[in-house]
Chains A and B, each alone.
Chain A
Amino acid sequence: MSFLPYAVAAWVCIVGIYGIVTSRNLIHLALCLTVMQSSTYLLLLAIGYVKGGGPPIYKGVKLGTKSVDPVVQALTLTDIVVSVTVIALILALALDVHKQAGTVDPDEIREMRG
């Protein structure tokens, strides 16, 4: 198994966090959060990869055929479903921020501090 997918997962995670930290736009920020989330898919799928393994569909396949790990794929799907909800909520909140404050810059909606 190559080292590369793990390095890419780490890189994507760091890029996502960098985007969140420096973002000046809530929509951009929500997308950076999905970038960070993509690193978890990459990591999970890399962990489940088996060299030469087929897709984990067992109907009509000979017993003993190699396949990649189906568990991580189920985890990835669950992760997608759960995270879509969160991102949708954050985008909805960003929309309301724009309605109320006329801006989507997190620096300009600082009502509370200190």
Chain B
Amino acid sequence: MTWALPLPVVVPLVAAALATAGDHLLPRRLGDAIGVAGAAGGFAFSLVILLASEKHTQLTWFGGWKPRGGAAIGVAFVADPLGAGLAALASGLVLASILYSWSFLRDAGRPYDVLMLLFGGAMAGFALTGDIFNMFVWFELMGVAAYALAGFEVSQVGPLQGAINFAVSNTVGAYFILTGIALLYARTGALNLADIGHSLAGHRPDGLIIVALTLLVCGFLIKAAVAPFHLWLADAHAVAPAPVCVLFSGVMVVVGLLGVTRCYWTVFDASLAPQAHDVRSVLVALGIFTALLGAVMAFLQRHLKRLLAYSTISHMGIALVGVALLDERSLGGAADLLLAHGLLKASLFLCCGILLVRFEDIDELRLHGKGRALPVLGVMFGLGAVALSGLPYVGTYLGHAQIDEGAALDGIDWVQPLLMIAAGVSSAAILRAGARVFLGWGPTSDPLLSPEPSESPPERSASMPALLGVTAVVLVLGLAVSVAPGLGQRVEQAAGRARDRIAYVDRVLRSRETPSPRPPVAIEATTTDSVLYGIGGVVIALGLALVGLYRRRLPELVLGPLRAALGPPIALLRAAHSGVIGDYVAWITVGTAVVGGVWALLLRR
């Protein structure tokens, strides 16, 4: 199987090169076909590797530079099911986006396809590599492609602002990561993840380890859009073309969380295992804060893509809690949640693209009632919104339930209700927007919502069945995640393997294979508590959506105190999301300093 390991990266990159080289030589349709073939090939090979990696971790050393005497010399690709799964999700969504863009952005020209392929190939490379510096290189390549895609509409100021904020924030993050890598290299003389972890094993954490941990984790959390590092995300998502948003929200942010997971479990766990609860408390706090902040900000938006972007931030917070609890069930839950979220959020962004094509607008209030002409789209939008709230056995429910149960096993019982509220509030925002657009409910003005610039429509003559078809396929896959037989158990097993540092070192440095047992093929059973939390999320979502629409019908006795209590904090939140890159980098710096300071106090006790 080792021959296939580089192919999810190589195939899209070669296709990108061919499409560029042949741009003026080949007929246009052939160029398009090369793009689709590259994306489809990458997806197919990712799936093959995913299936093979479930039996045992796949490994290949580039140029045949195998480890000598237990030390890595070359660069390796190491595919465990978690990484291979992310590569498959990334290349699958790239394929869906390219197919959708065929109709959506017919005049985008060749650079668009090429950037999409580069973006997908780089994400697959990041997910599969076993070398920390190689991770940085893929991270930057993925970044460059993404910045260019965010600012694709260079004739408007909004996309330029979004792309610059995105590029600068993430580049600062990349230099944090590189500095962390340099520090680890200085200590261990190694760049291979297994090798670094092996060298650190048993050493108590000192200043260098804590600084490296802080820089790597914060650098990746910038990409993962965790507060207070999240400010760039809404700007970038609001302006990027809808199929590009699919990749931003569906997989790019997930890559940041995979970076945290990979670095912690292969490298830092070796030194920090005895103090894991201190690492956990800081990251869980960040996750909860992000989940709630993102949900509230989503509720204050009227620009549909920006609203969905804040909801992505909220879900990244929930997933970070799953990663941060540091146990197998929660990590599996985070992976299941992100898989379902990626597909559902993708379908919602694609719905927004269809609205933009049809009505030339993306603003909730201006689109009031217009969506009644597209009932099928309305149903898809509503299903996507409900499935994100945690309705039992639909969409993101499985991930939520696994995180809740992991938290209960860890003896932390206060995070579940907070995560339920976050999921409920962000879904309420999407449902409110959907009800206003597709049902014409509520008033046509609302001073609570932030006005944003409008977007110029793409291709006018787009083929509606093609757009709806791609959207429906992605939506159905997302809805099915919670009831796919065996998925929960398999993902949990994959999470267990991602956490097993000893087996990873054995595989990479000593070529020893640890085969894993076949998990049962059944729909994952969940506890009554999880079902109740799921129902709670849906009730909050529906109730709050109605409040958002018909707030003014409440008696003044209720409204007055509400306005007085919530007005000032909301104004403060709005002011913090200032849209100026200098402020964003200041927040990043302060956030990193605080996280590092807290860890320095806790971990050196």
Interface residues of chain A, those whose CB is within 8 Å of chain B, are: 13, 17, 20-23, 26, 29, 33, 36-37, 39-40, 43-44, 47, 71-72, 75, 78-79, 82-83, 85-86, 89-90, 93-94, 96-97, 100-101, 106-107, 109-114
Asked if residues A112 and B161 are in contact (CB atoms below 8 Å), the reply is yes
Question: For the complex, what is the distance from the CA of A82 to the CA of B589, rounded to whole Å?
Answer: 23
Asked if residues B582 and A93 are in contact (CB atoms below 8 Å), the reply is no
Q: Tell which of B137, B167, B168, B235 touches A82, judged by Cβ atoms closer than 8 Å.
A: B137
Q: A47-B182, A112-B158 are in contact. Are A82 and B141 (CB under 8 A)?
A: yes
Asked if residues B155 and A20 are in contact (CB atoms below 8 Å), the reply is no
Residues on the A chain within 8 Å of B163, using CB = 93
Q: Tell which of B140, B143, B162, B179 touches A112, judged by Cβ atoms closer than 8 Å.
A: B162
Nearest CB of chain A from residue B147's CB, rounded to whole Å = 6
CB interface residues, B 133-168, toward A, < 8 Å: 133, 137, 140-141, 143-144, 147-148, 151, 154-158, 160-164, 167-168
B306 at the binding interface (Cβ < 8 Å): yes
B456 at the binding interface (Cβ < 8 Å): no
Residue on B nearest A107 in the bound complex, by CB:
B580
Question: For the complex, what is the distance from the CA of A95 to the CA of B582, rounded to whole Å?
Answer: 19
Asked if residues A100 and B450 are in contact (CB atoms below 8 Å), the reply is no
Asked if residues A96 and B154 are in contact (CB atoms below 8 Å), the reply is yes
Q: Which of B96-104, B170-178, B279-287, B520-528 contacts A (4 or more CB under 8 A)?
A: B170-178
Asked if residues A111 and B147 are in contact (CB atoms below 8 Å), the reply is no
Question: For the complex, what is the distance from the CA of A114 to the CA of B239, rounded to whole Å?
Answer: 15
Can you give 5 contacting A-B residue pairs, CB < 8 Å?
A43-B179, A78-B137, A85-B144, A86-B147, A114-B579
Residues on the A chain within 8 Å of B450, using CB = 113-114
Q: Tell which of B164, B175, B582 touches A37, judged by Cβ atoms closer than 8 Å.
A: B175
B156, B157, B163, B172 pick with most chain A CB within 10 angstroms: B157
Asked if residues A111 and B186 are in contact (CB atoms below 8 Å), the reply is no
Nearest CB of chain A from residue B163's CB, rounded to whole Å = 5
Question: For the complex, what is the distance from the CA of A79 to the CA of B577, rounded to whole Å?
Answer: 31
Residues on the A chain within 8 Å of B577, using CB = 113-114
Asked if residues B306 and A112 are in contact (CB atoms below 8 Å), the reply is yes
Nearest CB of chain B from residue A77's CB, rounded to whole Å = 12
Q: Which 5 A-B pairs have the closest CB atoms?
A: A113-B579, A114-B450, A114-B574, A110-B579, A47-B186
Nearest CB of chain A from residue B23's CB, rounded to whole Å = 19
Asked if residues B578 and A113 are in contact (CB atoms below 8 Å), the reply is yes
Question: For the complex, what is the distance from the CA of A58 to the CA of B140, rounded to whole Å?
Answer: 31
Asked if residues B167 and A89 are in contact (CB atoms below 8 Å), the reply is yes
B191 at the binding interface (Cβ < 8 Å): yes
Nearest CB of chain A from residue B578's CB, rounded to whole Å = 6
Asked if residues B585 and A17 are in contact (CB atoms below 8 Å), the reply is yes
Question: For the complex, what is the distance from the CA of A106 to the CA of B164, rounded to whole Å?
Answer: 9
Asked if residues A26 and B182 are in contact (CB atoms below 8 Å), the reply is no
Number of A-B contacts (CB under 8 A): 137
Given contacts A43-B183, A101-B160, 19 further A-B contacts (CB under 8 A): A13-B179, A33-B172, A36-B172, A72-B182, A86-B144, A86-B167, A89-B148, A93-B160, A97-B160, A97-B164, A100-B156, A101-B157, A106-B164, A107-B580, A110-B579, A111-B452, A112-B238, A112-B306, A112-B579
Asked if residues A29 and B168 are in contact (CB atoms below 8 Å), the reply is yes
B137, B174, B175, B186 pick with most chain A CB within 10 angstroms: B175
CB interface residues, B 330-366, toward A, < 8 Å: none
Question: For the complex, what is the distance from the CA of A44 to the CA of B191, rounded to whole Å?
Answer: 13
Residues on the A chain within 8 Å of B156, using CB = 100
Question: For the complex, what is the distance from the CA of A36 to the CA of B174, rounded to whole Å?
Answer: 11
Interface residues of chain B, those whose CB is within 8 Å of chain A, are: 133, 137, 140-141, 143-144, 147-148, 151, 154-158, 160-164, 167-168, 171-172, 174-175, 178-179, 182-183, 185-186, 191, 234-235, 238-239, 300, 306, 450, 452-453, 574-575, 577-583, 585-586, 589
Q: Tell which of B151, B179, B183, B580 touches A39, judged by Cβ atoms closer than 8 Å.
A: B179
Q: A21-B585, A112-B306 are in contact. Are A40 and B186 (CB under 8 A)?
A: no
Nearest CB of chain A from residue B187's CB, rounded to whole Å = 10
Question: For the complex, what is the distance from the CA of A55 to the CA of B154, rounded to whole Å?
Answer: 45
Asked if residues B157 and A23 are in contact (CB atoms below 8 Å), the reply is no
Residue on A nearest B185 in the bound complex, by CB:
A47
A13, A21, A97, A101 pick with most chain B CB within 10 angstroms: A21
Asked if residues B140 and A17 are in contact (CB atoms below 8 Å), the reply is no
Nearest CB of chain B from residue A73's CB, rounded to whole Å = 12
Residue on A nearest B154 in the bound complex, by CB:
A96
Residues on the A chain within 8 Å of B157, using CB = 97, 100-101, 109, 111
Residues on the B chain within 8 Å of A78, using CB = 133, 137
Nearest CB of chain A from residue B193's CB, rounded to whole Å = 16
Nearest CB of chain B from residue A46's CB, rounded to whole Å = 9
Nearest CB of chain A from residue B67's CB, rounded to whole Å = 16
Q: A17-B589, A37-B175, A112-B161 are in contact. Are A86 and B580 (CB under 8 A)?
A: no
Asked if residues A94 and B155 are in contact (CB atoms below 8 Å), the reply is no
Question: For the complex, what is the distance from the CA of A110 to the CA of B452, rounded to whole Å?
Answer: 10
Asked if residues B167 and A90 are in contact (CB atoms below 8 Å), the reply is yes
Residues on the A chain within 8 Å of B174, using CB = 86
Asked if residues B167 and A21 are in contact (CB atoms below 8 Å), the reply is no
Q: A43-B179, A72-B185 are in contact. Are A90 and B164 (CB under 8 A)?
A: yes
Asked if residues B155 and A100 are in contact (CB atoms below 8 Å), the reply is yes
Nearest CB of chain A from residue B232's CB, rounded to whole Å = 11
Question: For the complex, what is the distance from the CA of A60 to the CA of B133, rounded to whole Å?
Answer: 30
Asked if residues A93 and B164 are in contact (CB atoms below 8 Å), the reply is yes
Nearest CB of chain A from residue B183's CB, rounded to whole Å = 8
Residues on the B chain within 8 Å of A90, using CB = 147, 164, 167-168, 171
Residues on the B chain within 8 Å of A112, using CB = 158, 161-162, 234-235, 238-239, 306, 452-453, 579
Question: For the complex, what is the distance from the CA of A83 to the CA of B300, rounded to whole Å?
Answer: 36
Residues on the A chain within 8 Å of B239, using CB = 112
Asked if residues B581 and A111 are in contact (CB atoms below 8 Å), the reply is no
Asked if residues B306 and A44 are in contact (CB atoms below 8 Å), the reply is no
Nearest CB of chain B from residue A104's CB, rounded to whole Å = 10
A39, A43, A113 pick with most chain B CB within 10 angstroms: A113
Asked if residues B147 and A89 are in contact (CB atoms below 8 Å), the reply is yes
Question: For the complex, what is the distance from the CA of A21 to the CA of B183, rounded to whole Å?
Answer: 25
Asked if residues A110 and B580 are in contact (CB atoms below 8 Å), the reply is yes
Nearest CB of chain B from residue A11's CB, rounded to whole Å = 13
Nearest CB of chain A from residue B456's CB, rounded to whole Å = 13
